[in-house]
Amino acid sequence: MSRYRNERIRELAEQQVRFAPQAVKTRQISQAEDFLFSVKGGLEYRFGEVCFAVTGYRPETDVVVKGRDLAHDLRCLVEDLSGSLNQPISELGEPALTVKEVSELFSVSAKTVDRWRDRGLPSRRMNVGGRLRVVIPQSILNRFVADHRDEIDRGSSFRQMTQEERQEVILAARELAAEGLGLTEVSRRIGERFSRATETIRYTLRDFDKAHPENAIFPRVTAQVSGEHQSLIFDLHAQGVVIEDLARRFSRTKSSIQSILADVRVRRLRAMPVEYMDSEEFRMDDAESTILGEPPAYDEKSSVRVPKGLPAYLAELYKVPLLNKPQEQYYFRKMNYLKFRAAELQKELNDGRANARVARRMEALLDDANRVKNLLTRSNLRLVVSIAKRHLKPGVNFFELVSDGNMSLIRAIEKFDYARGNKFSTYASWAIMKNYARSVPAEHTRLDRFRTGYEEVFYDSQDGRGNAFADELVNKAQRAAIMEILEELNGRERKVISYRFGLAKGTEPETLEQVGNRLGVTKERVRQIEVRTLEKLRRIARVKGVDIPGI
């Protein structure tokens, strides 16, 4: 009974075949056939209604069955019930035709009759000459023909595809394949356009690709995608490149791209270190409802007035309310619990199909944990500023000091054990000051290595550079010359040079890897194109007599 598409209908058929009396089976066969004629492929049906129509019993369930699957499975149920009766065809009381006889009657292939059966033509298994065979009662066939006259006539008038029609199908398939559609969807659309069966179009396209592999519409890609390209595909998709574009760029089907994305996601999540401060609270039965409940409310009286004259960055810090001790306990416990749940899910990641669901859930937990971590970070940035002020010395940039302290704060948030009951500010202050005790002297030592004794002379000396306006005119002239030369490059060469050297207005130079991600190639390929293009630019510059620094 493995041919069933829906597990609940398979279980229903198996149960009735094994336990229902003969008279009940006979009645259920008729009821299933009547219900089958009412099934529409585009609709959905509740399993409870299906079970009631066949057996008279309505189970309490929310399971829904698609119409196409239901038509197929009800036909299988009728065949299994009738086959278990082993009834001779002579006892049917009316003529019955085999699949072959039906195909000859309507001048169609046996596969066409099988498609009719999958779409709702009931058939039974009866004893014919001592063995069970699939037959279709005459009354059932007449009823199906009356309900599906257009489909029957279309099948009966089937003719072989001419060479001209085959060429039209192939051209249409190329246009649709260029849009990123797969073989199944292309076959369905062309079948509707040319009034042909989807399978007929599919076989036509497959035969063409087999006979012309060098010009195939859907080339078979047998080579495995390298790990580097799999990571590139994942990163491009994360940057917003849609699956259809990735399929065209890497000569893959959409389903294979989706499979690669799922595999890379699982592989990265499996290798990701998930560190957290463990606690017995996490394993309690009511852990989720207790730990993820509503947070303690903020004290409205604790708001701080923003001092005047502060830089924008420092002024923003005063707009984030400070956390009291109960709030700190709540958010640290929540962050670590979310990481604990993610680490537990990480153990379930394997090579099975459940990976996608587990991966999505794990990513959601880690995202929630990061949001809590960001809240804790923002709430303690004022602490970093206050400590940085005390370590400010001549020659030390204040905002670099704050940035260094912020990194210490983030590490302290990850390492803080809330279960000990200490206030976080005490722990964080110690961690930040300990970091400054190392980094500030180290910075002074580094600067001392480059002191010359003439610093005051250097700072007091005048700027001997030329006129800024004249320099700007020179820069504009050089840029105009460069842009003129770039016009002689092809599209890919021009893009590589523009991205690498930041020639487009408002852009910055990009790395080989960044340019590769833009163009969908490896960074080594970008390097090769860059070397070849720069040599080409040198030749063009020499011919035109243009002097461009760096080329």
Mean pLDDT score across all residues of the chain? 81
Say whether pLDDT at 65 is over 60.
yes
Q: In the structure, what pLDDT confidence band is assigned to residue 153 with cuts at 50, 70 and 90?
A: low
Output the six-digit token pair for 393: 């010395």
The CATH fold assigned to 468-544 is Arc Repressor Mutant, subunit A (1.10.10)
Q: CB–CB of 462/366 below 8 Å?
A: no
**Which residues make beta-bridge pairs with 137?**
96
Percent of the chain with pLDDT over 90: 24
Q: What integer is the mean pLDDT of 362-390?
A: 90
The lowest-confidence range among 13-17, 267-271, 388-392 is 388-392
Q: What integer is the mean pLDDT of 130-143?
A: 92
- Residue 138's region, left for phi above 0, alpha for psi from -120 to 50, else beta, is alpha
The lowest-confidence range among 156-160, 168-172, 521-525 is 156-160
Q: What integer is the mean pLDDT of 27-49?
A: 92
pLDDT at residue 96, as a whole number = 93
**Long-range pairs for 207-211: beta carbons < 8 A, 24 or more residues apart:** 208/166, 208/170
The CATH fold assigned to 380-461 is Four Helix Bundle (Hemerythrin (Met), subunit A) (1.20.120)
Q: What integer is the mean pLDDT of 231-252?
A: 83
Say whether pLDDT at 461 is over 50.
no
Output the six-digit token pair for 263: 């595999």
pTM of the model: 0.45
- Name the more confident of 112 and 98: 98
Q: CB–CB of 47/61 below 8 Å?
A: yes
The amino acid sitting at 321 is: P
Pairing of strands 124-128, 131-137: antiparallel
The lowest-confidence range among 51-60, 102-111, 336-345, 378-387 is 102-111
Q: What integer is the mean pLDDT of 205-217?
A: 83
Say whether pLDDT at 79 is over 80.
yes
- Residue 276's region, left for phi above 0, alpha for psi from -120 to 50, else beta, is beta
**Which residues make beta-bridge pairs with 96?**
137
Output the six-digit token pair for 372: 């809590």
Q: Exposed, middle or buried, 445 (CB in 10 Å: 0-12/13-18/19+)?
A: exposed
The lowest-confidence range among 8-12, 115-119, 156-160, 535-539 is 156-160
Q: In the structure, what pLDDT confidence band is assigned to residue 22 with cuts at 50, 70 and 90?
A: very high
pLDDT at residue 506, as a whole number = 62
pLDDT tens for each residue of 188-205: 899 888 877 787 888 888
**Long-range pairs for 447-453: beta carbons < 8 A, 24 or more residues apart:** 447/395
pLDDT tens for each residue of 89-108: 999 889 999 998 988 888 77
Q: What integer is the mean pLDDT of 105-131?
A: 87
- Name the more confident of 538 and 55: 55
